[in-house]
Structure 1
């Protein structure tokens, strides 16, 4: 059974329940997430005993804001539309991800998931095929340089990707100029205080390899087919990682039915679990499988 047949087989009332958004569920998750980020940030600012150990959790909390930004592109974390928009734009700032641009980039990824030439996440290039390319990928260098290029091109009005609608070009250009100004001011602040280096820049660099490995598991080693239950991976992991990633380890479920908000993905998994064709028993298991594939 492919994802289309699966969705068609779900009773209409169940399908409606699965798609129900909730401000309460989203804001509760957001409050706990930002509470944790506030705690690690405060420890770093006050330089509590052993405070350098907080750089890793700080970095993880920062870079995994990507998963919330991603959810906001689908307008699913919150019931109120403006909250999705406001949160999506806000959390995209520390990860250098222009939110308006990313929404259309990501929708194109959903349309062409794992297609070798059409999926913009691949950019016409294969995922890491040897240890050197994997090391470069995990470092985050392609991401940071890629986002710098996107911001520069968008700010200049060089917006030519087919998946970016013409009606949004002005908003994308304005967004890029605002973000570029913010990052320039942040860079300037480093001449007066190292605070942003310790709170943002260094933690984001430390956390990036963990996010890259997590993202590699979403579609890595999955076949380039149209069935979302096969071209996307669900990774069975612990509650902490599911919380950090807004339940996106249920990734085949997300691709099969993107309208299901994060807090209903575990319930939707009960409908998909017998039909999933790409799964891993954890991120360690996936990493070992990927390593074996590189060795072959």
Structure 2
């Protein structure tokens, strides 16, 4: 069964129930995520014993706000449209992720999922095939460099990707210029206090490899086919990861019905799990399988040479 066949067979009332959004559930989850960040930040500021070690869990929790930004592009974490917009734009600063651009980038990804020529996630930068590319990918270098370059280009009025509607170019340019101004203020603040260094820059750098490994599992080694139950992977994991990732490990479910909010994805999973074609039992299993593929790719490359 494909995702289209599953949707066609889904009772309309059931589908409508799965797509109900909730400010209460969204705000409760956000409070938990931000509460974790604030608690860890307070310990770092207080410089409790071994406080530098806390920057790893803090950094992971910080960069995983990416999954909330992603949800906001679909306007699903909260019932309030304005709340989705405000949160999405607020996350642009710490994530180096302009929200207006990201919305259209991500919609194009959903439309052309895993299409090597048209999916913007892989069209210009394919997933790593060698150990060297894999380690560079995990470092987050491509993410930071790519997004910084994007903001700089947009701030100069250079908006060119075909999936970006011309009517939104002005908004993207204004957002990029505002972000640059805010980053300049943060850089200036470092002359007076190291808070931005310890509460943003260093944690974001050390946390990013964990987000990269998580994101690679969403579509890595999935075939370039149209069926969302096959071109997208669901990764079975623990509650902590599901919490930090806003239930996005249920990723095939999300791609099959992207308007289902994060809190309803476990219910959707229970209904669709027997039809999933790309599933991993944890991120460790996926990473081991992916690394095995890298070894094969390197061996093949050496044989060709």
Does TM, scored on the shorter chain, surpass 0.5? yes
User: What residue ranges of structure 1 are gaps of 5+ in the alignment?
Assistant: none
Which residue does the alignment assign to 1:260? 260
Aligned twin of 1:81: 81
Q: How many residues align?
A: 296
Question: Which residue in the other structure is 1:138 paired with?
Answer: 138
Q: CA deviation at 1:193?
A: 1.5
In the alignment, what sits opposite 1:7?
7
Which residues of 2 match residues 35-184 of structure 1 at below 5 A?
35-184=35-184
SS of 2:126's partner is coil
Q: Following the alignment from structure 1 to structure 2, what is the Cα–Cα distance between the partners of residues 150 and 235?
A: 30
Does the 8 A contact of 1:138 with 1:209 survive in 2?
yes
1:102-132 C-alpha deviation (Å, 9 max, x unpaired): 0000000000101001110113332100100
Aligned to 2:185: 185
Cα shift readout 1:148-182 (whole Å, capped 9, x = no counterpart): 11101111111111111111111000000000111
Return the alpha-carbon distance in structure 1 between the equivalents of residues 82 and 278 of structure 2. Answer: 35
Q: What is the alpha-carbon distance in structure 1 between the residues aligned to residue 266 and residue 93 of structure 2?
A: 29
Moved over 6 A (4+): none
Query: What is the alpha-carbon distance in structure 2 between the residues aligned to residue 127 and residue 212 of structure 1?
Result: 11
Counterparts of 1:143 and 1:274 in 2: how far apart (Å)? 34
Q: Within 2, Cα distance between the matches of 1:107 and 1:97?
A: 15
2:206, 2:96 → 1: CA distance? 15
**Which has the higher mean CA deviation after the structures are superposed, 31-40 or 44-53?**
44-53
Match of 1:22 in 2: 22
Describe the SS at the equivalent of 1:266.
helix
Structure 1 residue 189 displacement after superposition: 1.2
Q: RMSD value over aligned CA atoms?
A: 0.7
Give 1:168-247 correspondences, 5 Å limit: 168-247=168-247
